[in-house]
C-alpha cells in the first residue's frame, strides 16, 4: 500500500500556486566564493551566488578552514554525545566564552542551530516561568513562533516594530504575569531594523524580559560584530541575545547569551539542548576563530557596506524597485510567484546568476521577491552584470517599477 497520493495532492497544489521549492544543486568551491558550480540540470555551470547568508564569505576564510581541519584531525568528526554525556569538548566551552564576551554577558550556551536555540529557549522560558506571557513581534521568525507555541504560554502579538502597540499590550496584562518581549534586530525578508531603544524602554517600563534574535546582525553590525544591540549600546539592557554561527560567521550552530543564571536555567531544562548530540568540536573551533576574527577586523563589514550601497545605487539608476532599509539585505520586488520563479530561472540559465525566489509562505502572497545579499567578495563587475541582467528582464517581463 502506498500513501503517495496523500503526499502528492498537497505537493501538486504547491506546484500550481508556483510555491513549490526546487533546490539549486550547488558545489561551493574553496576560495572562490561567491562563485560556485551549479549542478541542477546535470552539467556543471559556473554561477555567482547572490543570495547567500554566508554574508561575509567567512566560510571560505583560510583561518576558519584551518581551525576546522586541524580540529577534525585532533578531535575526530563528531562530538560523540550530548553535552551532558561525553559530548562537551574544550572547544565548546571556549566558543561559549567567546560569545559571552562578544555580547558582554556572563554566559553563553550553544545549540545545533539558530532555529533550535530559539525553539528550545522560548519553549523553556514560556513553559517554566510562572504565568508567562510572550509578546511576539508579528514578523518574528518561524523558530520563535514554534518555540512559543510549544511552550503553551499565553501569546500576544504586537504590531511589527511598533513600540506604542507593545506598550498598550503590556499595559493590558495582569500584574502577576512574567512578561517576555520577543523580537528581532534585522528582519531577514524586508531587511528592516527594529527601533531597539524604544522597545527596550517600553519593556523596562513594564518590568518585562527582553528576548532578542540577532541572527541577521551578529558579525555584521557593531564595532566587534556584536549586532545592533552592540551598535546601539543596548546589550546590557537585553535579557537574552540569541544568534547564529551559520550566517555571517560562515559555519553552523546557534546560541543564546545572558546572565549565568539564565544560561544555567536553559541548560538544565531545555529539551532541545539536553537530548541531542553536541556540535562537532571542529565546528566550535572554526566558529570561535570566525567570531574572534570579526571582533577585531572591520574590513569585511566595511567592504560589504560599500557593495550594498553600490548595488542599491545601480538598481535605482535602472528604476528597478527594491525595499528601502538600513541593512545589508536588498529585496527586489516581483509581486508574483510565477514571474518570480521565471526570472530566477532565466538569471541562472542565461546569466549565471543565482538568486532564490522568495515566495509564500516565507513572505505574504503578492510580495514575492528576489532577495540579494551583496558581500565583500562581490566585485563591481559582478554588480554591473547583475543589474544589466535585471534591467533586460524588467523590460522583457513588463514588470512594475513601483515598490509598494
Ligand atoms: N532566526 C532568524 C530570524 C532566521 O532568519 C533564522 C534562519 N534563517 C534563524 C533564526 C535560524 O537560524 P539557523 O539558520 O542558524 O538555524
Distance separating alpha carbons of residues 42 and 193, to the nearest angstrom: 40
Averaged pLDDT for residues 96-116: 98
Distance separating alpha carbons of residues 239 and 227, to the nearest angstrom: 15
Q: Which listed residue (105, 179, 247, 288) is catalytic?
A: 247
171-174 long-range contacts, Cβ below 8 Å, gap at least 24?
A: 171/206, 173/133, 173/206, 174/131
Tell me which residue of 172, 256, 252, 161 sits closest to 214, measured CA to CA.
256
Please give the C-alpha separations between residue 62 and each of 102, 224, 251, 338, in angstroms, as whole numbers: 22, 20, 13, 40
Averaged pLDDT for residues 251-257: 98
| Confidence at 404, pLDDT banded by 50, 70, 90 | low
What are the backbone dihedrals phi and psi of residue 67, each rounded to the nearest 5 degrees, phi first?
-65, -40
| 112 pLDDT more than 90 | yes
Distance (Å) from CA 116 to ligand 1 centroid:
9
Cα 135 versus chain centre, distance: 20
Averaged pLDDT for residues 57-85: 97
Model pLDDT, residue 399 = 67
The residues, any chain, with a CB within 8 Å of residue 334's CB and separated by 6 or more, are: 340, 343, 357, 368, 369, 370, 399
Tell me which residue of 297, 332, 251, 340 sits closest to 67, measured CA to CA.
251
State which of 52, 111, 115 you would mutate to test the pocket of ligand 1, scoring each by most atoms of that ligand within 8 A of its C-beta: 115
Model pLDDT, residue 210 = 98
What are the backbone dihedrals phi and psi of residue 340, each rounded to the nearest 5 degrees, phi first?
-60, -45
Distance (Å) from CA 249 to ligand 1 centroid:
13
Model pLDDT, residue 324 = 94
Q: Tell me the ipTM for this assembly.
A: 0.99
Element (H, E) at 371: strand 369-372
Averaged pLDDT for residues 184-212: 98
Cell of 64: 576558519
Contact call for residues 381 and 351 (beta carbons, < 8 A): no
The C-alpha cell 516561568 sits at 129
Residues in the chain: 404
Range with the lowest mean pLDDT among 17-31, 172-186, 353-367? Answer: 17-31
| 345 pLDDT more than 70 | yes
Element (H, E) at 240: strand 240-244
**Using a 6 Å cutoff on CB, does residue 115 contact ligand 1?**
yes
State which of 117, 141, 253 you would mutate to test the pocket of ligand 1, scoring each by most atoms of that ligand within 8 A of its C-beta: 141
Exposed, middle or buried: residue 372 (CB in 10 Å: 0-12, 13-18, 19+)?
Answer: buried
Averaged pLDDT for residues 92-100: 98
| Helices and strands (H, E) in the chain, number of each type | 14, 14
Model pLDDT, residue 42 = 83
- How many CB atoms within 10 Å of residue 264? 14
Averaged pLDDT for residues 175-204: 98
Model pLDDT, residue 401 = 62
For ligand 1, atom 12, name the residue with the nearest CA: 114
| 403 pLDDT more than 80 | no
Specify whether 247 is catalytic.
Answer: yes
**Using a 6 Å cutoff on CB, does residue 137 contact ligand 1?**
no
Averaged pLDDT for residues 262-267: 98
Model pLDDT, residue 172 = 98
Distance (Å) from CA 49 to ligand 1 centroid:
19
| 41 pLDDT more than 90 | no
The residues, any chain, with a CB within 8 Å of residue 395's CB and separated by 6 or more, are: none
**Using a 6 Å cutoff on CB, does residue 141 contact ligand 1?**
yes
- State the DSSP string of 303-337: HHHHHHHHHHHHHHHTT--B---SSS-EEEE---H
Averaged pLDDT for residues 95-121: 98
pLDDT tens-digit map of 290-320 = 999 999 999 999 999 999 999 999 999 999 9
Cα-Cα end-to-end distance for the chain: 50
Q: What is the DSSP letter of 389?
A: H
Pairing, β 369-372 against β 357-358: antiparallel
What are the backbone dihedrals phi and psi of residue 94, each rounded to the nearest 5 degrees, phi first?
-65, -40
**Using a 6 Å cutoff on CB, does residue 184 contact ligand 1?**
yes
Model pLDDT, residue 253 = 98
| 44 pLDDT more than 80 | yes
**Using a 6 Å cutoff on CB, does residue 244 contact ligand 1?**
yes
More confident residue, 239 or 42: 239
| Confidence at 398, pLDDT banded by 50, 70, 90 | low
Averaged pLDDT for residues 174-183: 98
| Confidence at 17, pLDDT banded by 50, 70, 90 | confident
More confident residue, 318 or 22: 318
Distance (Å) from CA 215 to ligand 1 centroid:
6
Model pLDDT, residue 228 = 98
Contact call for residues 290 and 250 (beta carbons, < 8 A): yes
The residues, any chain, with a CB within 8 Å of residue 95's CB and separated by 6 or more, are: 108, 110, 284, 285, 287, 288, 291
| 184 pLDDT more than 90 | yes
| 125 pLDDT more than 90 | yes
For ligand 1, atom 13, name the residue with the nearest CA: 114
H/E/C letters for each residue in 157-197? EECCCCHHHHHHHHHCCCCCCEEEEEEECECCCCCCECCHH
Amino acid at each position: 500500500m502506498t500513501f503517495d497520493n496523500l503526499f502528492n495532492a498537497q505537493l501538486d497544489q504547491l506546484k500550481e500556486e508556483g510555491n513549490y521549492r526546487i533546490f539549486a544543486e550547488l558545489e561551493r568551491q574553496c576560495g572562490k566564493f561567491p562563485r560556485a558550480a551549479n549542478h541542477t540540470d546535470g552539467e556543471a555551470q559556473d554561477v555567482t551566488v547572490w543570495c547567500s547568508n554566508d554574508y561575509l564569505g567567512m566560510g571560505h576564510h583560510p583561518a576558519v578552514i584551518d581551525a576546522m581541519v586541524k580540529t577534525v584531525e585532533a578531535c575526530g568528526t563528531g562530538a560523540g554525545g550530548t553535552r551532558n554525556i561525553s559530548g562537551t569538548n574544550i572547544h565548546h566551552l571556549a566558543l561559549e566564552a567567546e560569545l559571552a564576551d562578544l555580547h558582554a554577558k556572563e554566559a553563553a550556551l550553544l545549540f545545533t542551530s539558530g532555529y533550535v536555540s530559539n525553539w528550545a529557549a522560548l519553549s523553556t522560558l514560556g513553559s517554566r516561568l510562572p504565568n508567562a506571557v510572550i509578546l511576539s513581534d508579528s514578523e518574528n521568525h518561524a523558530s520563535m513562533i514554534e518555540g512559543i507555541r510549544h511552550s503553551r504560554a499565553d501569546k500576544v502579538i504586537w504590531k511589527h516594530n511598533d513600540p506604542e502597540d507593545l506598550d498598550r499590550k503590556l499595559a493590558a496584562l495582569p500584574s502577576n504575569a512574567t512578561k517576555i518581549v520577543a523580537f528581532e534586530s534585522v528582519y531577514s525578508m524586508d531587511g528592516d531594523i527594529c527601533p531597539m531603544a524604544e522597545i527596550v524602554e517600553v519593556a523596562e517600563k513594564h518590568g518585562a524580559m527582553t528576548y532578542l534574535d540577532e541572527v541577521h546582525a551578529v558579525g555584521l553590525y557593531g564595532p566587534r560584530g556584536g549586532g545592533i544591540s552592540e551598535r546601539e549600546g543596548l546589550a546590557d539592557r537585553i535579557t537574552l541575545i540569541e544568534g547564529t554561527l551559520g550566517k555571517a560567521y560562515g559555519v553552523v550552530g546557534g546560541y543564546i547569551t545572558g546572565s549565568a543564571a539564565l544560561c544555567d536555567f536553559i541548560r538544565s531544562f531545555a529539551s532541545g539542548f539536553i537530548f541531542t548530540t553536541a556540535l562537532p568540536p571542529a565546528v566550535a573551533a572554526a566558529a570561535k576563530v570566525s567570531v574572534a576574527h570579526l571582533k577585531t577586523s572591520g574590513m569585511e563589514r566595511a567592504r560589504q557596506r560599500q557593495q550594498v550601497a553600490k548595488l542599491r545605487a545601480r538598481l535605482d539608476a535602472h528604476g528597478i524597485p527594491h525595499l528601502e532599509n538600513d541593512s545589508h539585505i536588498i529585496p527586489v520586488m516581483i509581486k508574483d510567484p510565477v514571474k518570480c520563479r521565471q526570472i530566477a530561472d532565466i538569471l541562472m540559465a542565461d546569466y549565471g546568476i543565482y538568486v532564490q525566489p522568495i515566495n509564500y509562505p516565507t513572505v505574504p502572497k503578492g510580495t514575492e521577491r528576489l532577495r540579494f545579499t551583496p558581500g565583500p567578495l562581490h566585485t563591481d563587475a559582478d554588480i554591473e552584470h547583475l543589474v544589466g541582467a535585471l534591467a533586460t528582464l524588467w523590460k522583457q517581463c513588463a514588470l512594475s517599477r513601483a515598490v509598494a
